[in-house]
Amino acid sequence: MSAPLPLDSKIDGVKIYASGATVTRIASLPPDWRGDRVEIAGLPLVLDDRSVRARIEGSDSAIACDIAIGLAVPSREDPGEPPLETEVRKARFKVKQLQDTLLAIQREIANLNTLEVPDRPRGEAGKSPPPSPMGARLALSHFAQEQVQAKFVEKREVAIALRTATQALADLERQQQQASSAREAQPHELRKTAIIGLSWTDRPAESPLQLVLEYFVPGARWTPSYICRLNRQDNRATIAVRASVCQRTGEDWSGVRVELSTAEPSSWCELPELASLRIGRSQPAPKPSGWRRPPVGAENLFEDYDRQKQAAKLAVSTEAIAVSPSFQAAIAPLTSLDLTSSESFAAPASKQVVDRSFTQAIDPSLSEDLEEIEELIEELDDDGMNYDSPLGAFARSPKASIEKARSAGQQRQRRSPVSMPPSPIPETVETIDRLTYSIMRLGAPEDGAERGKLKVSSPEDRYLEFLQRQDLKVPFPIRGVLNNALAEAKRCFMVHLPHGSHEVRYSAGSFDYAYAAEGRLDIPSDGQFHAIALLSRDAEVKLRYIVVPRIDPNVFRIAQLLNPLDAPLLAGMADIYVDGEYILSTEMPTIPPRGEMELGLGVEQGIQVARNTNYREVRSGETLVAFNELRHEIAIAIVNNLQRAIAIEVRDRLPVPAEGAKVDVQIDRVVPEWEVYNQQERGRPIRGGYRWKVEVPAGDRLNLEVDYTIKTFVDSELLGGNRRE
C-alpha cells in the first residue's frame, strides 16, 4: 500500500455548542491525482475520534470510504544539521589524523631498522691498517637504538589515543544512528492525524476537488450579549447581537466562519420503531443485529500452519546454527551418539539431549513446544525413518514423519469441534465498535487463543502504530498526555461568565437555535472570553413613559422593541445607546422570536409629574345606622416639556378591604377613564391596581383626577389611620 498523500488544510468554519464545538477543515486535492489515501495532520489532541467525518466536494464520483485517527509529530520546517553531526565529523578527522601519525611512526621505525653501522675499513695489502672511526660508529649505533626506542614509546601513545578516539567515534556514530532512526517524541509535539481512504469511479479533467473534514472538540462555550442603539428622531433602533466565546481546544481559530448553537453536542436519542402490519401466519420478529457470530471450528484452519512451523524448527541444520562456541558446546554430546537407527534416536538419554540442549541452543521459544515434540517422537513408527545425520530426523522427511504421528494419535492430537453456546448480542456501544472494522486487528498465528479473531484495538495501540511508522520512540504514557490535554480543554468551563450573562442551555429552554456570524472572525485558544460580533438588525421602537407618582414622581423611559430575528434573543447583558450617547447597561430576559421586549432607559427629565391629594371625613345620617365616609380626592398633573408628544402610563392603587372586614371602598369619579392593572407581566400580581394610558402633546399639560370614598361604622377606625393618602 502506498504512503498517504499529506495535504495542507485550514480551518474554514466552527460551530460552537453550549459545550464543545465542531470544526470544519478544508484541503484541496492536487489536479489529476488518483491516489487512494490522503493524510491531514496537525489536529488537536482533544479531538473525539468517533466524531470525525470526511467528504469530497466537487465531484460525485469520489467518496471518503475509511478514516483512521492516530498520533504523529509534525515535521520540522528547518531541522538544520543534526546536533551530533559536527561532533562526528571532528571525531572522524581526529581518528584519521592519528592513523596518519601512526603510519608515519611505523615508517620511521622501519627506516631506523634499516640503518646499519659500517664495518671497520680494511687496509691495503702490505700496508698498515687505517685508523678505525670507533667513536662515530658507536654514536651511530646509539642514535639508532635511542630513536627506535623513542619511536616505540610514541607509537604506543598514539595507538592508545587512536583506540580511545576510535571508541569515541563508534559511540557517537551509534548515538547518531539511534537519534536518526528512532527519535524520541516530546509530549508537546504530539498531534493527532487523520488518514482518509478515497474511492474513485471517475474524475473529470481539471475539476477542482476539496476534501472536507469535520470533527468535534470539547473545551468551548459561549454566552450572548447585545448592543441596542436607539434613535428618537425616527423611532428606529438597531440591535447588534454579540457573544463572548471561550475556547481552549489547542488550536487557534483565525479567519473562520462562526455559528453559535444552543444545542448539546451529543445526547442519547432512541429512534422510534414503526411496527409493520403482516397478513398471514404469525412469525417471531427477527432480532436486530449488526454483526455475525464467528464460525465454529475456525481453530482447525491453523493445523497445517502449526505442523509446518514445528517441522521448520526441527529442520534447522547444524551448519546453519553452529556459529557460536556456546552452541558448539551445547551440541558436543551429539557427535558421540549413534542416531542412525530409530532405536538409538528414541533412547531416553539421546532424546533428552536433543530436546533440551538442542532446542535451547537453537531457539528458547522451542521449549514451549517441548512436550508436544516429545509426544510426536514417542508416537513415530520405525517404518520409513531414515536418518542420515544426527539432526536429519526431521530435515529429510518431516512431513511424512509428522503425518505418521498425526495419524497414530489423531483422536488425542485433534480436538473435535464443540458446539459452543451462542454468544450474547453485545451492547449498543460495543456493537458500534464491532462494526468499525478500521479499528479492528486480526490476531496473529502466534497469539494463541486470539489468533484468527478480529478484536477491537485500544486507542493506545492504534496511536503507537502511527508513531512507530515514523520511527519515533515514546518514553512517556500516551494516555497521560491525552488526559492532560482533555483536562486543559475543560478548564474553560471553570472560567466565570461575564457579569450578567447566563448559560445558553438554560436560556434557550426546550428548543435549540443557531446564530450565524456575518463575516469571518478570530478566536484564540487561550481559555479567556473574547467578545465577537455576530449580526445586526434594524427594529421598530416605541418609546413610552411610566410613572408611579404614589411612590416616585420621576418618569421612566421604556423602549418597546420587536425582536427582528426568527430566533429568540437569549438572556444577557445589553448596552443601551440613545442618539449615540451611552445611557446604561441592563440585563435583558429571553425574548421569543418576533416577540416584544422592553428596555428601561432611565429617568426622563423633560417630563414632570405632581400628585396632590385632599381628604375629608363626613358622617352619614341618612340611614338608620350611622357611617363614617372617608372621602379622598387625588389630582395628578403631567407637564410635557419635550418637543414631541408623548404616550405616558400613570399607575396608581386604591385600598382593598380584607376579606370579612366591615369596610366598603367606592370609586366616585375618574377623569379620564382608567383600567384595572394587576401587574401580571412582572410575575408579582397585586390587588387594587389601576392605570391611565394617555397622550400629552408637546409643551402641554394634562390633569388626572380620581375620587373615592371609604365607608366604615361610626365606632370603627381603619388600621393605620383613616386618611389613606
pLDDT of amino acid 61: 75
180 falls in which pLDDT band (50, 70, 90)? low
Q: Out of 432-441, 463-472, 519-528, 588-597, which region has the weakest mean confidence (pLDDT)?
A: 432-441
pLDDT of amino acid 432: 47
pLDDT in tens, 99-113: 989 898 888 888 888
Residue 194's nearest CA partner among 71, 56, 24, 26 is 71
Please indicate whether residue 239 or residue 291 has the higher confidence score (pLDDT): 239
pLDDT of amino acid 36: 84
Mean pLDDT of the chain: 77
Q: Which of 184, 213, 241 marks a domain boundary?
A: 184
- Cell (9 digits) for 343: 532405536
pLDDT at 564 over 50: yes
pLDDT of amino acid 422: 35
- Is the Cβ–Cβ distance between 298 and 445 less than 8 Å? no
> Taking residues 573-586, what's their average pLDDT?
88
Q: Kind and range of the H or E element at 546? A: strand 530-548
> Taking residues 553-581, what's their average pLDDT?
89
With H, G, I as helix, E, B as strand and everything else as coil, classify residue 116: coil
301-310 long-range contacts (CB < 8 A, ≥24 apart) are 301/452, 302/445, 302/451, 302/452, 303/414, 305/445, 307/402, 307/406, 310/369, 310/372, 310/373, 310/376, 310/402
Distance between CA atoms of 483 and 464, rounded to whole angstroms?
16
pLDDT in tens, 50-81: 899 999 888 777 888 888 898 888 765 544 44
205 falls in which pLDDT band (50, 70, 90)? low
pLDDT in tens, 314-337: 775 444 444 445 434 444 443 443
> Taking residues 559-572, what's their average pLDDT?
89
> Taking residues 88-102, what's their average pLDDT?
88
pLDDT at 426 over 90: no
Please indicate whether residue 649 or residue 448 has the higher confidence score (pLDDT): 649
652-656 long-range contacts (CB < 8 A, ≥24 apart) are 652/548, 652/549, 652/550, 652/689, 652/690, 652/691, 652/706, 653/550, 653/686, 653/688, 653/689, 653/690, 654/688, 654/690, 654/708, 655/688, 655/710, 655/724, 656/687, 656/688
pLDDT of amino acid 525: 92
- Is the Cβ–Cβ distance between 22 and 215 less than 8 Å? yes
Question: Which pTM value belongs to this model?
Answer: 0.62
Is residue 292 in some structural domain? no
- Cell (9 digits) for 648: 405616558
> Taking residues 179-190, what's their average pLDDT?
70
The proportion of the chain whose per-residue pLDDT surpasses 70, expressed as a percent, equals 76
pLDDT of amino acid 13: 95
Is residue 322 in some structural domain? yes
Q: What secondary structure, in 3-state letters, does 163-219 show?
A: HHHHHHHHHHHHHHHHHHHCEECCHHHCEEEEEEEEEECCCCCCCCCEEEEEEEECC
Which residues, including other chains, have CB under 8 Å from residue 110's CB and lie 6 or more apart? none
Is residue 50 in some structural domain? no
pLDDT of amino acid 57: 87
pLDDT of amino acid 399: 43
82 falls in which pLDDT band (50, 70, 90)? low
> Taking residues 558-571, what's their average pLDDT?
89
Is residue 480 in some structural domain? no
Is residue 428 in some structural domain? no
Q: What is the chain's percent helix, strand, coil content, to nearest 5?
A: 30, 30, 35
pLDDT at 140 over 50: yes
pLDDT at 547 over 80: yes
pLDDT of amino acid 362: 38
Residue 525's nearest CA partner among 193, 264, 214, 218 is 218
Q: Out of 354-358, 436-440, 493-497, 567-571, which region has the weakest mean confidence (pLDDT)?
A: 354-358
Q: Which of 363, 397, 413 marks a domain boundary?
A: 413
pLDDT of amino acid 570: 92
Is residue 688 in some structural domain? yes
Is residue 635 in some structural domain? yes
pLDDT of amino acid 673: 92
pLDDT of amino acid 353: 36
pLDDT in tens, 252-288: 999 999 999 998 887 777 777 777 777 888 777 777 6
Please confirm whether the linkage preceding 672 is cis (ω < 30° from 0): yes
Distance between CA atoms of 662 and 712, rounded to whole angstroms?
7
pLDDT at 147 over 70: yes
Phi-psi region of 614 (alpha: psi -120 to 50; beta: other; left: phi over 0): beta
pLDDT in tens, 150-169: 888 888 898 999 999 998 88
601 falls in which pLDDT band (50, 70, 90)? confident
pLDDT of amino acid 554: 93
pLDDT in tens, 679-720: 887 788 888 899 999 999 999 999 999 999 888 876 666 666
Question: What is the domain extent for residue 706?
Answer: 607-713
Q: Out of 27-36, 414-423, 467-476, which region has the weakest mean confidence (pLDDT)?
A: 414-423
pLDDT of amino acid 715: 63
pLDDT in tens, 523-543: 999 999 999 999 999 988 888
Q: Which of 358, 383, 413 marks a domain boundary?
A: 413
189 falls in which pLDDT band (50, 70, 90)? confident
pLDDT at 724 over 70: no
pLDDT at 404 over 50: no
Is residue 16 in some structural domain? no
Q: Considering its fold, how many domains does the chain have in total? A: 3
Question: Of 57-61, 175-179, 284-288, 476-480, where does the model show the most confidence?
Answer: 476-480
pLDDT at 637 over 90: yes
With H, G, I as helix, E, B as strand and everything else as coil, classify residue 647: strand
